[in-house]
Structure 1
Amino acid sequence: MCKPPLLDRDNQAPADEADEPEDLQTASEDSALKHRLDLQTGEDGLSEEEAARRLLQHGRNELPDLRTPKWRIFLEPRDTAHTLRAAQEWPDMSTLTALLLLNGFVGFFEDMRAGDAVAALKASLKPEAQVKRAGAWRKADASQLVPGDRVALAAGANVPADILLGRGMQVQVDQAALTGESLPVSLGEGSLVKMGSTIVSGETEGLVAHTGVNTFFGKTAALIGSTHDVGNFQKVILRITRALLLFSSLLVTAAVTYLSLTFDGEGYGVWPAVSFGAVLLVASIPIAMQVVCTATMALGSRLLAAKKAIVARLASIEQLAGMTVLCSDKTGTLTLNKMVLQEVLSYAKGADDAAILALAALATRWKEPPKDALDTLVLRAECLDRASLDRHEQLDFTPFDPKLRRTEATLRGPDGGVFDVVKGAPDVVLRLCDEANRSSIGAVFAAKVEELAQRGIRALAVARRPEGGGMEMVGMLTFLDPPRPDTKRTIERAMQQGVVVKMITGDHGAIARETARSLGMGDEIGASDSLPTILPGEEVPRTLGRDYGAMIEKSDGFAQVFPEHKFLIVEALRQRGHSVGMTGDGVNDAPALKKADVGIAVEGATDAARAAS
């Protein structure tokens, strides 16, 4: 049996069909189609005058800067110190000011994290776009794009705005960082390509539908910027401080009253008693408590750093200890974010793993670097005899076409015989086989394909046709993005500690259920249509926990979700009284990472995810 090769996401396979979740894609396309009616763009694009007018109307194509100046965060009012200064209590004022400055440093690093997350999102966007205006194509600053601009997209290009694709070839789009889908998707005319995604292959044109905060990317940034919750650690400190202050106030009031009433002309008077009470009240405020707690957690962070866990927010150490629910992304978090060849299935006599892989390799340009993930999977297999490939002469080759969903090659073998090889989507290749072959293997083959589909495992079929003969199915290769080696054990240990683990992913439901099943997380995976949504700038409802909390608690996870769904799932659980953790690695995880009590960005996470955690 061949040792399965690993395949990085950077060189990933094109999907067999449009892999974007159908209900989400349809909703976004319907919105874009309605918007297209107002774009009013001709073949020559917008004129410069019209573009300038729309720029004033819609604003620049960039994310708003939500960062508060760092000096303002640090220099907040320090009322207690000001009071002591007014009273000319210089030694006490100096001591108290030093403690307040230490507390200020803690708040300084806590309060500026939302702006840093948005800044990371802005930094990930490309600054230029190919735009057609007044009949001429030119490079332009992407921040100057407006709805209705005609732009060109080619392989390797970063999508500069939400773009409605026009007529042309289908393109392969990598939007894993936005939606969590583990494979690039095929999109064509009428589809909406999201800002921040990348064109993997193909060339096409489109019209800008949304810019700036109105894009999918912008809505994600708005969710991050809307999160200004006080951490649980700060809430505990405030509750303790308030309780002590209330108790101290009662005692000080009793003491001042007693001293004032028992004045005998030689002891305390009213004003001396009030002065004594003020000093006692100030002394009873635990101003150093946060400093002591922070120093203790800093020591803990050093121990975690030794285990390669970097603590960006010290309060998260305490919150991690009290976590009751852990929500986790799938792609790149629970899984390797690498495609792995699972098994080779034979449907022809005498066709072993090596023979099937060799035929699959002959349907590539094996002498050139791999063009896509399927070719990489095949050509990197250890049991592939590359020398045997070189004994063949490739007479013709048809590269992968998203519409045909297959690759074809015509070859001359070492014996001089000519034959064709086809590899592609199983249903497509089966239809190319002759009737006798379909009749003999059709039922078994279809049942296997259905089983793999239900488990979310991708498959690639390989068929061969000798010159003058019929097409015969030879075999099928299966591949999957498998869990990380330590994921299952980590989840088991979390469950043993009483933590409920839920998967929330943008990938397909079948893939999510298979991953959850293999990790022992349960298979009650819900869909996004049962979850609430939120518009940019809209206040988060305070009734999420009441309306959706019970349903979310009963589910083992959710599939085909967008960033706002992850954000609202975390908030609903928090409203139900849970201390919620969130793990993720992509832009689509950043709002939920910011909203959670404990945000955990895994190794290899995007800058936005790391800044939000």
Structure 2
Amino acid sequence: MEKGLKRIPSKEYEKIHPEEVFNILESGKDGLSDEEAERRIQIFGPNAIEERKESPLKGFLRRFWGPMPWLLEVAIILSLLIGHEVEALIIAFLLFINAAIGFAHSQSSERVLELLKSKLAVMAKVIRSGQLKLIDAKNLVPGDLLIIELGDIVPADCKILEGSISVDQSMLTGESLPVDLSAGNIAFSGSIVKRGKAKCIVVNTGADTYFGKTAELVRIARPRSHQQEVMLQITRYSMYLGIVVMIAVSILAYAMHLKNELISILTFDVAILMGCVPVALPAVMTIMQAAGARYLASKGVLVTKLDAVEDAASVDVLCVDKTGTITMNSLEVTSLIPLNSSEEELLELALYASSEETGDPIDLAIVRRARGIRTKGKRISFTPFDPSTKRAEGVVEIEGKRVRVVKGAPQVILGMCNPDGKEFIEEKLNELASKGYRTLLIAEGEEGYPLEVAGIIALSDPPRSDSAELIKRLKELDVKPKMITGDSFPIAKEIARIVGIGDMGVSLSDLRNLNESRVLEEIEKADFLAEVFPEDKYTVVKSLQALGHIVGMTGDGVNDAPALKQAELGIAVSNATDVAKASSGVVLLTPGLGGIVEVIVQSRKVYQRALTWIINKVTKVVQFTLLLAIGLFWLGYDVLTLMGMALLVLANDFATMSLATDNAKPTLRPNKWNMRNIMLSSVVLGLLLLSEALIAIYIGKKLFSFSQKEMQTFILLTMVFTSQFRVILVRERGYFWKSKPGRELIASISIVIAAFLLLGMVGIVVERIPLSASLLSLAYSAAFTLGIDPVKVLIFKRSGLIS
């Protein structure tokens, strides 16, 4: 970078005199030349946001790297070494499906940056070499002179040199009121000019703009994926158990009578790997979440990130953006305080100094409130609100007299009026301000005579009709709502009181000089946070996460995007910007927050289904690995063939896939993944079911005198039948008969049982055994598995799985 061309934060330019700004940016009254602008693009880069992408091929191949893929890849190699090509192909197919699902799920991760980039793709009116030109905004550089006026999107951060404008920054700050800017102020990229015209100098472009910093926050925001943590822990525990058993058995087998049976040992190792790796886990999680997402779509809620369906179950703090989320994001006249007239007469006067055509939110609020009022006078002239004078004015003819009506900021209007009653007026203004209302004064007077205050108009952004009920339901679900707003403390306190959030609040400005631990403490205990800057929302979410909370965040503006992405559950309301929607895991399709309770309740159902799958899987791994080990030494051969192992995996996964739509009861508290307790209870249950399988081997030896292949079929059928009844056993945390399984689950279990009864009777790919033996296996599995239900309930109570 060349000397003199510095990168200075946009806000700092407000403190710098325009002449000094010209010197810093090496610009002049005629702007830059095209040649100089081209040179500066090489220095500062285009007025766009850099996008970092991983190639699709690399992203897909990365899915084959990690603990779970490694185990399956080892199993494939071992299967090929011992000549079991069919089994190797089955394992490879499972590995490929797992990789494909993970790859497809990751493809939408960069949508937020794409939308932010597209937001800058606007045209700009620029002065170069003294000539006004229309250029693509991506070609703007620091030092360019801009003209911005009504309807324009501010294309870069710029300092106003001449003129005044009123801008809508709601996409950036989330706040509904327009902001008045004049010479010396900074207009931020992404703002929309609602009134006025100004000449500006560009101070920052692209990623250096305030908008660009938001994009960078979105890029670095990385929520903790609890689903990924859970899957990693399950894989780790299963892998450890499988590897320990595999190594122990291999050493013992080699040292004892199987030392020459290398093929048998390798077959055992492959079987252990196939049984222990939770290969279906990513697919099952995705299917469960997709089923929940389909249900939520029918309730007016769009799920854009499937992880959100599960993550919402654990949310214990919901950060709610006030403007447009709790409130209507629309000003309304709340109170009329006339001094020497009626409310209707005061409103009539205000109407003379307002116009719907201006699009000004205050004018629109007055016009809406005045509908139906018949005016007595005829307006002769109208001067819209001017940010520099902070007032609007109308001249009206009433009963042959010309009356001047002025509407504007209280202190400005008071300075123009007769001082009579000033103390009373200021007292009322302070009272309204303490309740969070925005106030206007209306003054009138005949032309040529002093003005007199006619009354006070109070305005506010009122709460949505469903906000109070939503807050109540959230508290019933043990989720703490925490309102966040850029508004002042009085406004925040009043809204929090009305909707029932609470009265414990804090202004972020009061926390800036406190140490980190005190800041965290204040943020955690506050019911609402006021005077929050856009970048603070991201920090608030991170702070709550640092304290161990699972955080939800609602929002609608560009400024909310980093916090929405960082939160475990980002919720964009229906009127949200595209960037906010893309940053969120959930988008509400209807106004307000009526769908948020549905999200939490449905996600807790999905959590219960996922918990059922995990308990079922870990229980099976414990039962299966120890059975293979004990059976190898007891019988002297593998209790299951590799084909039998593959059939068992497929049968178990077929039934558990239907858990995605199973009936489930949501809890009244946030769900937490306490993996230690989940694993311990599953291990104990697995040991109980191991005893069932060992007794089945004894029955097969004593009652039927099976050959090796017949015994392998009998054990396979027993394991398959047990796996089906085990799903019924663990799907209900209480006694299994307290809730009815879903129709899909009943159907899949019935199909698996019928298919394997037929398999054993006909002898397809397994050795045929008598139908009586198959039916005995079925009856025994049902009686034993469901018979230990009281023990299961006791185990779950001790481990905290039953609240």
Query: TM-score normalised by the shorter chain: which range applies?
Result: 0.7 to 0.9
Q: Structure 1 residues 323 and 28 mapped into 2: Cα distance closer, same or farther (>3 Å)?
A: farther
TM-score scaled by structure 2? 0.66
Q: Structure 1 residues 275 and 264 mapped into 2: Cα distance closer, same or farther (>3 Å)?
A: closer
Q: Which amino acid aligns with 1:202?
A: G
Secondary structure of 1:369's aligned partner = helix
Q: Distance in 2 between matches of 1:374 and 1:384?
A: 18
Q: Distance in 1 between matches of 2:11 and 2:307?
A: 42
Maintained 8 Å contact 2:506/2:522: no
Counterpart of 2:573? 602
2:289 is the alignment partner of 1:297 = yes
Q: Distance in 2 between matches of 1:264 and 1:451?
A: 91
TM-score scaled by structure 1? 0.86
| 1:31 CA displacement | 7.7
Maintained 8 Å contact 2:507/2:532: no
Q: Structure 1 residues 489 and 272 mapped into 2: Cα distance closer, same or farther (>3 Å)?
A: same
Q: Which amino acid aligns with 1:372?
A: D
Q: Which amino acid aligns with 2:481?
A: V
Q: Structure 1 residues 364 and 505 mapped into 2: Cα distance closer, same or farther (>3 Å)?
A: closer
Maintained 8 Å contact 1:158/1:199: yes
Q: Distance in 2 between matches of 1:279 and 1:30?
A: 72
Q: Distance in 2 between matches of 1:460 and 1:566?
A: 31
Q: Distance in 1 between matches of 2:103 and 2:258?
A: 51
Q: Distance in 2 between matches of 1:567 and 1:364?
A: 39
Maintained 8 Å contact 1:46/1:132: yes
Counterpart of 1:162? 157
Q: Which amino acid aligns with 1:252?
A: M
Maintained 8 Å contact 1:347/1:475: yes
Q: Which amino acid aligns with 1:53?
A: R
Aligned with residue 38 of structure 1, among 15, 21, 24: 24
Aligned with residue 421 of structure 1, among 384, 394, 405: 405
Aligned with residue 456 of structure 2, among 459, 466, 476: 476
Q: Structure 1 residues 91 and 274 mapped into 2: Cα distance closer, same or farther (>3 Å)?
A: closer
2:485 is the alignment partner of 1:519 = no
Aligned with residue 248 of structure 1, among 233, 242, 247: 242
Q: Which amino acid aligns with 1:117?
A: V
Aligned with residue 552 of structure 1, among 489, 514, 523: 523
| 1:528 CA displacement | 4.4
Q: Distance in 1 between matches of 2:172 and 2:288?
A: 37
Secondary structure of 2:114's aligned partner = helix
Secondary structure of 1:516's aligned partner = helix
For residues 38-437 of structure 1, the aligned pairs below 5 Å read: 38-78=24-64, 79-80=69-70, 82-83=73-74, 86=77, 87-88=79-80, 89-166=84-161, 168-229=162-223, 231-263=225-257, 269-270=261-262, 272-348=264-340, 351-364=341-354, 369-381=357-369, 383-386=371-374, 388-389=375-376, 392-413=377-398, 415-435=399-419
| 1:82 CA displacement | 4.9
Q: Distance in 1 between matches of 2:16 and 2:226?
A: 39
Larger radius of gyration: 2
For residues 455-534 of structure 1, the aligned pairs below 5 Å read: 455-467=435-447, 469-521=449-501, 522-528=503-509, 530=511
Q: Distance in 1 between matches of 2:159 and 2:446?
A: 44
Number of corresponding residues: 565
Q: Structure 1 residues 302 and 134 mapped into 2: Cα distance closer, same or farther (>3 Å)?
A: same
Secondary structure of 2:336's aligned partner = strand
| 1:290 CA displacement | 2.5
Q: Which has the higher contact order (CA 8 A, sep 6+)?
A: 1
Counterpart of 2:536? 565
| 1:219 CA displacement | 0.8
Q: Structure 1 residues 230 and 303 mapped into 2: Cα distance closer, same or farther (>3 Å)?
A: same
| 1:467 CA displacement | 4.7
Q: Structure 1 residues 383 and 153 mapped into 2: Cα distance closer, same or farther (>3 Å)?
A: closer
Counterpart of 1:443? 423
| 1:526 CA displacement | 2.0
Q: Distance in 1 between matches of 2:42 and 2:337?
A: 60
Maintained 8 Å contact 2:126/2:145: yes
Q: Distance in 2 between matches of 1:532 and 1:163?
A: 30
Secondary structure of 1:65's aligned partner = coil
Q: Structure 1 residues 74 and 401 mapped into 2: Cα distance closer, same or farther (>3 Å)?
A: same
Secondary structure of 2:369's aligned partner = coil
| 1:383 CA displacement | 5.0
| 1:334 CA displacement | 1.4
Q: Distance in 2 between matches of 1:508 and 1:229?
A: 29
| 1:84 CA displacement | 5.2
Maintained 8 Å contact 2:120/2:190: yes
Secondary structure of 1:209's aligned partner = strand
Maintained 8 Å contact 1:114/1:224: no
Return 5+ residue gaps in structure 2 as ranges.
1-8, 585-803
| 1:572 CA displacement | 1.8
Maintained 8 Å contact 1:531/1:565: no
Q: Which amino acid aligns with 1:60?
A: P
| 1:155 CA displacement | 0.9
Maintained 8 Å contact 2:166/2:178: yes
Q: Which amino acid aligns with 1:331?
A: T
Maintained 8 Å contact 1:99/1:291: no
Q: Distance in 2 between matches of 1:341 and 1:301?
A: 40
Secondary structure of 2:429's aligned partner = helix
Q: Which amino acid aligns with 1:610?
A: K
Per-residue CA deviation, residues 440-470 of structure 1 (Å, 9 max, x unaligned), is x322211111122222211222122135544
Q: Distance in 1 between matches of 2:371 and 2:46?
A: 54
Maintained 8 Å contact 1:66/1:225: no
Q: Distance in 2 between matches of 1:204 and 1:301?
A: 47
Per-residue CA deviation, residues 388-437 of structure 1 (Å, 9 max, x unaligned), is 35xx3334433322122112222222x312222111122222222223xx
Q: Structure 1 residues 256 and 601 mapped into 2: Cα distance closer, same or farther (>3 Å)?
A: same
Per-residue CA deviation, residues 275-298 of structure 1 (Å, 9 max, x unaligned), is 422431232111112322322232
Q: Distance in 1 between matches of 2:426 and 2:531?
A: 26
Counterpart of 2:594? none
Residues 93-102 or 304-313, more deviating: 93-102
| 1:545 CA displacement | 7.7
| 1:110 CA displacement | 4.1
Q: Structure 1 residues 227 and 467 mapped into 2: Cα distance closer, same or farther (>3 Å)?
A: closer
Maintained 8 Å contact 1:513/1:525: no
Q: Structure 1 residues 98 and 269 mapped into 2: Cα distance closer, same or farther (>3 Å)?
A: closer
Q: Distance in 2 between matches of 1:515 and 1:494?
A: 17
Counterpart of 2:605? none
Secondary structure of 2:471's aligned partner = helix
Q: Distance in 2 between matches of 1:474 and 1:112?
A: 61
Compare the two structures and name the one with the higher helix fraction: 2
Q: Which amino acid aligns with 1:242?
A: R
| 1:568 CA displacement | 1.7
Q: Distance in 2 between matches of 1:532 and 1:145?
A: 38
Secondary structure of 2:388's aligned partner = coil
| 1:319 CA displacement | 1.4
